[in-house]
Amino acid sequence: MRLQFLFIFLFLFPFVFCSKNSNIKENNDIALIFENWANDYSSYKNFTTVNGILVVTPFERNGKKVDLSETMRDTMIIRSESNGFRCEYRYNLFNSIDFLINKGDTIIIKKLDNQPFINIKNRITNPYDLNYDYYKNKRYGFIDGFAMNNYQDYQEYIVLMPMLFEKRYDRDTLLQILSCKLEDERVWLDSLKFENLISDIEYHFFKERNKFEVLHIKNLEDRNKTKEEYKELLLEYNDSIYINDKFKYYRKYYEELVEKYYVDKVILRLNSRINDYKDAFDKMENDNLVVGDLHQTMMLRWLPEIINYNSVNTGKDYYEKVLKELTDTILINRLKSEYDVVFDEEFLSSKELELLNKHGVRLTFENLIEKNIGKVVYVDFWASWCAPCIKEMLPATKLREKYADKNITFMYLSFDDKKEDWIKGIENANLSEVINNYLILNKKTSPFIKNMKISAIPRHLIYDKKGKLVYREAPSPDSAVIYEILDKYIEE
């Protein structure tokens, strides 16, 4: 399973980002200003950050998480109708900090002692409100130069540490160290509140975080827990608390409990093992243990995996099951907008490669090739989740710049499962200015994909000016020979 930060479901409103030429802050906007701080992960050559380094989550139930790429501007404006927000700022591969902000805030994030330190310009705060994690890290110290004082940091550390450094700590040792810190933190937090060094909402936020980090270690990291014990924990679930969970720790805890209880089978693939979410879905539906909004969340979380790793007919059956069980009309409409096209009978039976552009217009690859008669066409099959594909995008940009005034079309066809992942991936891959960006709608049933044997990406094709396929396995953008090949066909 590819390394990434886990986000359950990314809702599509109510945020509006400022454009590059619209950076004027209005009264209710939030301004985040990054001074003397560069998020440079380039020293970690084998790793790519996915979904951005800053997540801004409104306290309201249906708020959207805001994910930004590594190329964050120094100043960012966020517009929203929400009043309060939780921010998670990942400032290196291992570590993140949490802080709360309000509508209208102007926040300045500086580097101090190689950590983020936050100042606020528009209101008075208590000393530990915004910089609680900074002082917490100073209190508990570092391991290998990195803070390991939160459960999420521990998770990143235990996965990446063996890949980047000589392994010095085993899992149980790290958990024991973290558990001791969390127990001390609980008492320390109370003392900060008693001395009026932290405000009420921040105090409750960090107490909630501490509480559920302890529960994660106690229940989710305990390899001796039985199925019956997990069932007892799930029976304690309260749907009202889940729905109104402002800080999202209760939600995350119970979602992970459901995963622990139900996801216990894998699908064996070539060189990989994939969780069998279809099996988990079926078991959850049969025993009625998981109810309410938690039940809907888990269906929505597992559905893309079921669609991706099963037949088209199976995926369609489960899509229709989820639609029938959803009660929130907003979620129903969003799900339909995402998958109605995917399961459209016309496209499923199509003999052509069906595509969708950024504006929602449907067209076929064959039609695009016809429209580009007289030009060389370089086709790049990719996906937002494909690390090798993303790695190629820098040389791909240079390739496009080299031939900007030549008779050539660069075309990017995405294997992403969800339109929103593809749209977000376009920006992260530096493809925003490329006209010929398309999402493949019938990748599972297209004869073209089968005939071309496109079973792995990145993959590249070259068509000559007559529309004839001249390279089924074209060199990649960073190849030493790609320029020579393109020059040859452009000059013909």
Convert the pLDDT of each residue in 82-96 to its tens digit. 888 999 988 888 888
Looking at the structure, do residues 108 and 20 belong to the same domain, yes or no?
yes
Say if 324 falls within a structural domain.
yes
Tell me: pLDDT of 15 over 60: no
Question: What band does 401 get if pLDDT is binned at 50, 70 and 90?
Answer: very high
Say if 304 falls within a structural domain.
yes
| Strand, coil or helix: 115 | strand
Q: What is the pLDDT of residue 450?
A: 85
Question: What band does 68 get if pLDDT is binned at 50, 70 and 90?
Answer: low
Looking at the structure, do residues 5 and 55 belong to the same domain, yes or no?
yes
Mean pLDDT of 316-321: 92
Mean pLDDT of 246-257: 95
Given a contact cutoff of 8 angstroms between Cβ atoms, the answer to whether 179 and 173 are in contact is: no
Burial of 164 (0-12, 13-18, 19+ CB in 10 A): middle
Which range of 3-12, 170-179, 271-280, 457-466 scores highest in mean pLDDT? It is: 457-466
Nearest residue to 413 via CA among 373, 460, 367: 460
- Distance in angstroms (rounded) separating the CA atoms of residues 430 and 179: 42
Say if 229 falls within a structural domain.
no
Say if 231 falls within a structural domain.
no
Q: Which residue has the higher pLDDT, 438 or 74?
A: 438
Say if 235 falls within a structural domain.
no
Looking at the structure, do residues 170 and 291 belong to the same domain, yes or no?
no
Say which DSSP state 476 is in.
P
Considering 340, 363, 383, which residue would you say is the last residue of a domain? 340
Name 78's bridge partners. Answer: 17, 30
Domain count, the chain: 4
Q: What is the pLDDT of residue 46?
A: 55
Domain extent, residue 276, equals 252-340
Say if 246 falls within a structural domain.
no
Question: What band does 5 get if pLDDT is binned at 50, 70 and 90?
Answer: very low
Q: What is the pLDDT of residue 63?
A: 64
Looking at the structure, do residues 195 and 146 belong to the same domain, yes or no?
yes
Looking at the structure, do residues 80 and 139 belong to the same domain, yes or no?
no
In the structure encoding, which two tokens stand for residue 258, read together? Answer: 């459901």
Considering 93, 123, 153, which residue would you say is the last residue of a domain? 123
Counting residues of the chain whose pLDDT is more than 90, the rounded percentage is: 49
In the structure encoding, which two tokens stand for residue 128, read together? Answer: 């530990």
Considering 320, 340, 360, which residue would you say is the last residue of a domain? 340
Q: Which residue has the higher pLDDT, 228 or 43?
A: 228
Q: What is the pLDDT of residue 168?
A: 67
Tell me: pLDDT of 245 over 90: yes
Question: What band does 65 get if pLDDT is binned at 50, 70 and 90?
Answer: low
Question: What band does 10 get if pLDDT is binned at 50, 70 and 90?
Answer: very low
What per-residue string of b and e applies to 136-159 under the rule 16 or more CB within 10 Å gives b?
Answer: bbeebeebeebbbbbbbbbebbbe
Mean pLDDT of 18-38: 69
Using one digit for the tens of pLDDT, what is the confidence trace for 120-144?
A: 999 999 999 999 999 999 999 988 7
Q: What is the pLDDT of residue 1?
A: 34
Contacts 24+ apart (CB under 8 A), 212-218: 212/249, 212/250, 212/252, 212/253, 213/150, 213/151, 213/178, 213/182, 214/179, 214/182, 214/183, 214/186, 215/253, 216/151, 216/253, 216/256, 217/151, 217/175, 217/178, 217/179, 217/182
Mean pLDDT of 24-31: 78
Q: What is the pLDDT of residue 272?
A: 67
Q: What is the pLDDT of residue 19?
A: 35
Looking at the structure, do residues 169 and 282 belong to the same domain, yes or no?
no
Tell me: pLDDT of 258 over 90: yes
Report the chain's mean pLDDT, rounded to a whole number: 85
Question: What band does 254 get if pLDDT is binned at 50, 70 and 90?
Answer: very high
Looking at the structure, do residues 362 and 421 belong to the same domain, yes or no?
yes
> Please, where are the H alpha helices in 340-374?
345-348, 365-371
Residue 411 has φ and ψ, to the nearest 5°, of -125, 130
Looking at the structure, do residues 322 and 369 belong to the same domain, yes or no?
no
Looking at the structure, do residues 105 and 132 belong to the same domain, yes or no?
no
Kindly report the CATH number assigned to the domain that includes residue 412: 3.40.30.10
Say if 233 falls within a structural domain.
no
Q: Which residue has the higher pLDDT, 15 or 227?
A: 227
Looking at the structure, do residues 265 and 363 belong to the same domain, yes or no?
no
Mean pLDDT of 250-257: 96
Tell me: pLDDT of 465 over 50: yes
Looking at the structure, do residues 276 and 384 belong to the same domain, yes or no?
no
Say if 334 falls within a structural domain.
yes
Tell me: pLDDT of 74 over 90: no
DSSP element (H, E) containing 227: helix 227-234
Looking at the structure, do residues 331 and 439 belong to the same domain, yes or no?
no
Mean pLDDT of 343-359: 82
